[in-house]
Amino acid sequence: MRQIHQNRTILFLVFIPLIFIVIFFLVPLFFVLIESFYSKAGRFTLIRYINFFMDSRNLFIYLRTLKLGLIVTIFAVILGYPTAYVISNAKAGRRSLLMSVVILPLMTSPVARTYAWLIILGRFGLINQSLKAMNLIKTPLRLIYTENAIIVGLLQLFLPLMILSLVSAMENIPDDLEEAARSLGAGWLKGVLLIIFPLSMDGLILGATLVFTGSITAYVTPAILGGTRVLTLSTLLRQKSLVLMDWEGATIVAVVMVLTTLILYILLRKLRPKLI
Amino acid sequence: MKKSTALLIFIILVYTFLIGPFLIIFLASFGSEELMTFPPKGFSLKWFHKVFTIVMFRDAFWSSLKIALGSTASALILGAPIAYALVRFKFPGQNFIEVIFSSPAIIPGLVIGFALLRFFVLLTNLPILLGLYIGHTAILLPYTVRVISSSLRNFDISIEEAAVSLGASRLKSFFIVILPSIKTGVVASFILAFITSFNNVPVSLFLTGPGVATLPIQMLVYMEYYFDPTIAALSSILIVFTVFIVQSAEKLIGISKYV
């Protein structure tokens, strides 16, 4: 009796939200998937994917997107690790200030944030004007619409995610452990390498997944800092759909993006089931 | 000593990289020249004035506000019962529900917008504002479900049981017993969801249409045609608001835990 009552409660709770997400999220996504794998005659086919990757331009853009993601992730680890270490060891008041500043790039309007890089890297921007003032260059360098501009923009956006994941992993490490290592004669570097690094591995893996998947699917940063000159998967998706009206081509780009992201998350779940 | 000095310099550089651009945009918005240059020449407030005279920004701001408030409220109303069911009960299909309601955060926003446009909005001729509102609600659900679930996990169930055994209905006990004690989580998810919607580009990109655009989309459109400091001025205003919200939310409820 109680069981039946409970089942009715659960159904009541879950029903409307489930209907919502099925109609407005799952079904449209499912149709995108179906459309990409079935021919007009309704037969399963991989021909669209083969054609997509046979086009060297598409393949180049796909590999570039992965490359940019990888570079951003590596820099995020290098810059994020020491920062997270300092934050997790800071006193409560300062810690709260440091954290609230770290999350600012995540909370700011992406257009505003990326526009700032346009001012710094632009033709008449901070870097070009400074180099000119120092007589190092005569004509402005082209810094925007390059892969490096996209990397810098993405790093500012996603470094906070790496720092947050690392800080929450490092917080669970008791302070005594590092002190014990030191009192037994280990230097601070050895203490970090032998204690902090292995124990914050989960944070590192989660952070790296978030940064990488975020980087390969971000839109505003490559749109503003790469333009049509340096396309990535996301700006290619927009170009194919909203500019060229090539809906079928856009569908393939969309599914390639989703599958690449999903594979990474599934791998993460297999490797570290606790994390997500 | 040496270690801490090196670390200190490193941290200062990292923080300069993270927030330095915001200071630069702020300075640039006071320049007086038509073409964006840095360092700015002259001093002028005219770009701030211009922001408020451009009708498309004003309209887009109101659309964004409506969509953000509406979709945040809906995501809370739809997300709370899911969070409650997930935390409070064990039932078949629980894992499925959990995965489904976290997936809009994993699937790229651009693809969600694209799919919704192609296989719902275009087929049903849905009004643009409604399409935006639905798309935003879908991407906010994972935030509200996650944050409310984690608050509910810290809530002592026996208090609710006490209310029920004293005669309160489950619904009533939710509002008078549970809600007050998870309000920090609710406020946190409201702030996060609101900011996420207000700033969203990828989903809105596909769902905006003639006459209706959100503020970030309108800014992107403007940037394609003009390179004067108007966008810098508008960005400065948005950044000041964000800093204010984030700082107060961090002080009051420690928002960074929930990001």
Q: Please check whether residue B34 lies inside any domain of the structure.
A: no
pLDDT of the residue at A2: 62
Instruction: Indicate the pTM of the whole model.
Output: 0.92
Any domain includes B120: yes
- Residue B231 within a domain: yes
> What pLDDT band is residue B227 in, cutting at 50, 70 and 90?
confident
Of A16, A83, A276, nearest to B14 by CB-CB distance is A83
What are chain A's domains? Answer: 1-45 (no CATH), 55-271 (1.10.3720.10)
Amino acid (1-letter code) at residue B212: V
H or E segment to which residue B15 belongs: helix B2-28
Q: Which two tokens stand for residue B177?
A: 């017993």
CA A273 to CA B46: how far, in whole Å? 55
Q: Of residues A1 and A55, which shows the higher confidence score?
A: A55
Whole-number pLDDT of residue A177: 78
A202-252, pLDDT tens digit by residue?
999 999 999 999 999 999 999 999 999 999 999 999 999 999 999 999 999
Domain assignment present for residue B31? The answer is no
What total of structural domains would you count in chain B? 1
pLDDT at B209: 85
Assigned domain for B9 exists: no
- Single out the residue of B98, B104, B99 nearest to residue B138, CA to CA: B104
Query: Any CB–CB contact under 8 A between A150 and chain B?
Result: no
Partner-chain contact A102 B256, CB within 8 Å? yes
Q: What is the pLDDT of residues A58-108, one digit of tens each?
A: 999 999 999 999 999 999 999 999 999 999 988 888 898 899 899 999 999
Largest interatomic CA distance in chain B: 72
Q: Is B174 exposed, middle or buried, given 0-12, 13-18 or 19+ CB atoms closer than 10 A?
A: middle
The answer to whether residue B43 sits within a structural domain is no
Residue B17 lies in a domain: no
Mind telling me how many Å the CA of B103 is from chain A's nearest CA?
9
Q: Which of residues 98-137 of A touch B (CB under 8 A)?
A: 99-113, 115-120, 122, 124-126, 129
Per-residue pLDDT at B2 exceeds 70: no
List the single residue in A120, A213, A276 with the smallest CB-CB distance to B21.
A120
Contact call for A156 and B246, based on CB within 8 A: no
Rounded Cα gap, residues B233 and A185, in angstroms:
55
User: Residue B241 sits in a domain of what CATH number?
Assistant: 1.10.3720.10
Enumerate residues 6+ apart whose C-beta is below 8 A from A223: A234, A235, A238, B220
For residue A144, give how far its alpha carbon lies from the nearest alpha carbon of chain B (Å).
Answer: 14
Helix residue ranges per DSSP H, chain A: 2-21, 27-37, 47-54, 56-89, 92-102, 104-107, 110-121, 126-133, 147-171, 175-183, 188-191, 197-199, 201-217, 220-225, 233-238, 247-271
Identify the residue with better confidence: A232 or B248.
A232
Residues of chain A in contact with residue B190, where contact means CB-CB under 8 angstroms, are none
Q: Domain residues for B192?
A: 54-257
Position B239 in a domain:
yes
For residue range A218-230, list pLDDT tens digits in order. Answer: 999 999 999 999 9
Q: Is the dihedral of CA A252, B216, A68, A148 positive or negative?
A: positive
Q: How far apart are CA A264 and CA A272, in angstroms?
A: 12
Q: Do B201 and A219 touch (CB under 8 A)?
A: yes
Assembly ipTM: 0.91
- Write the residue in B37, B78, B236 that is nearest to A20 by C-beta: B78
